[in-house]
Every structure is written in C-alpha cells, then in structure tokens.
Amino acid sequence: MQSKYVHFISTSKDFSEDLVSTKKMKLRERIEKAVRICQRSLFIIDQIDKMSSVVLDYHGYVDGVDSRKAVFIFLRHLGPT
C-alpha cells in the first residue's frame, strides 16, 4: 500500500507459522502502533477464514489507544479452490 495509514495484512503470509498467542500479540501490536499514529487507520485483512478465531477479539481501548475509529475490512475467498 502507498499510504502509511492503510495496512494490508495477509493471514497466510504474516501469520504462517507462529503460535496462536504470538499471532495475537503481533496483530495487537501492529494495530496499536498504527492507531497511535492515526486513529482512523484502515486495516485490510485478507483470507480471514484462514486465521484462527482465537486471534481476533475486540479491544476498543487498550493501553491509552482508542481503536474504535479505525476501519477494519475482512476479506474471504468464497470461490472454488
């Protein structure tokens, strides 16, 4: 992505071999860092169906960072494999 406010996250690339707890921590840190810079950051998460549901949970306000104004787009492949 060209903008520092748009963040593309590929679950197959960015979270390929980590433990679930490590994945969750990495994602949280990445989102927290971006939202500190801009509360209205855009996160595009590709292949959400391949990400463990344990990794995703809601935290509106963590460590002084309010992520409620950020935009999250979740993409899922529905076509034939």
The residue among 55, 57, 59, 75 whose CA lies nearest residue 67 is: 59
Confidence (pTM): 0.79
Per-residue pLDDT of the chain (81 residues; tens, 9 = 90+): 689 999 999 887 766 556 777 878 888 889 999 999 999 999 999 988 887 777 777 766 777 888 889 999 999 877 776
What number of residues does the chain have? 81
What residue numbers bound the domain in which 4 lies?
Answer: 1-53
Number of domains the chain contains: 1
Please report whether residue 28 resides in a domain.
Answer: yes
